[in-house]
Amino acid sequence: MTDRQADRFETELLEAAPFLRAFARTLCRDPEQAEDLAQEALMKAWQCREQFQPGTNLRAWLATILRNRFYSLGRRRKWQADYDQEVIERTLVAPDDAESIVALEDVRRALAMLPDFQREALILVGAGGMSYDEVAQIAGCPLGTVKSRVRRARDELQAILFRGKLAPGQRSSTPLESLVADFDRLSNAKAA
């Protein structure tokens, strides 16, 4: 992109901002969420400005970015709940319950039965809170591959836990230490 094209892109991007805000409001129906969505779409467009084809419809390109972001956030929000401090404090109390310790150990052992690439993807997305894009960069594979790995790992984990496929194995000192160690190992792999 030449300097002239970059200047023109920036001008047109700023002119399209009100359109994006209006479009975001029609999707979100919440002004604050719509404003955030429009800003994210503008930032994404700026980051990907080299991909824009001069002479094509900028508003259509921006609307596609905004729409894709909206649906991505919607899928993610399906698994999130509103933050309520009082509920969190009641929920995070750890019971002195032997069954919970055994259940956690069962999850750790079930995770260990998954193939490494599936376990890594599931832990980074599920426990690590990373996006599929971040995990794809870490794993050096396409985004769709990461999504597939996570889905298959979830399915296999359910099959192992709920269909009694757990194999007898050695117990570590504590289940929580094992999970934390697995997560630390994967996080260190990301940093490397």
pLDDT digits (tens, 9 = 90+) for 55-75: 888 888 888 898 888 888 877
Residue pair 90/57 in contact by the 8 Å Cβ criterion: no
pLDDT on residue 92: 57
Q: Is residue 86 domain-resident?
A: no
In this structure, the answer to whether residues 97 and 187 fall within a common structural domain is yes
Higher pLDDT, 102 or 148: 148
In this structure, the answer to whether residues 118 and 180 fall within a common structural domain is yes
pLDDT on residue 25: 82
Measured between alpha carbons, how far is 65 from 40 in angstroms, rounded to an integer?
Answer: 9
pLDDT on residue 36: 92
pLDDT digits (tens, 9 = 90+) for 18-58: 888 888 887 776 788 889 999 999 999 999 888 888 888 88
In this structure, the answer to whether residues 119 and 43 fall within a common structural domain is no
pLDDT at 80 over 70: no
pLDDT on residue 67: 85
Q: How many domains does the chain have?
A: 2
pLDDT on residue 173: 43
Average predicted confidence (pLDDT) for the chain: 78
Domain that holds residue 121: 93-191
In this structure, the answer to whether residues 119 and 33 fall within a common structural domain is no
In this structure, the answer to whether residues 73 and 116 fall within a common structural domain is no
In this structure, the answer to whether residues 70 and 105 fall within a common structural domain is no
pLDDT at 121 over 60: yes
Q: Is residue 113 domain-resident?
A: yes
Q: Is residue 172 domain-resident?
A: yes
In this structure, the answer to whether residues 55 and 145 fall within a common structural domain is no
Residue pair 28/74 in contact by the 8 Å Cβ criterion: no
pLDDT digits (tens, 9 = 90+) for 144-166: 999 999 999 989 888 888 776 65
Domain of residue 51, CATH code:
1.10.1740.10
140: left (phi over 0), alpha (psi -120 to 50) or beta: left
Q: Is residue 87 domain-resident?
A: no
pLDDT on residue 106: 79
Q: Is residue 103 domain-resident?
A: yes
Tell me the residue type at 115.
P
Q: Which two tokens stand for residue 42?
A: 């503008």
Domain of residue 146, CATH code:
1.10.10.10
Q: Is residue 85 domain-resident?
A: no
Residue pair 21/53 in contact by the 8 Å Cβ criterion: no
| Whole-structure pTM value | 0.41
Contacts of 163 (CB under 8 A, 6+ apart): none
Q: Is residue 104 domain-resident?
A: yes
Q: Is residue 151 domain-resident?
A: yes
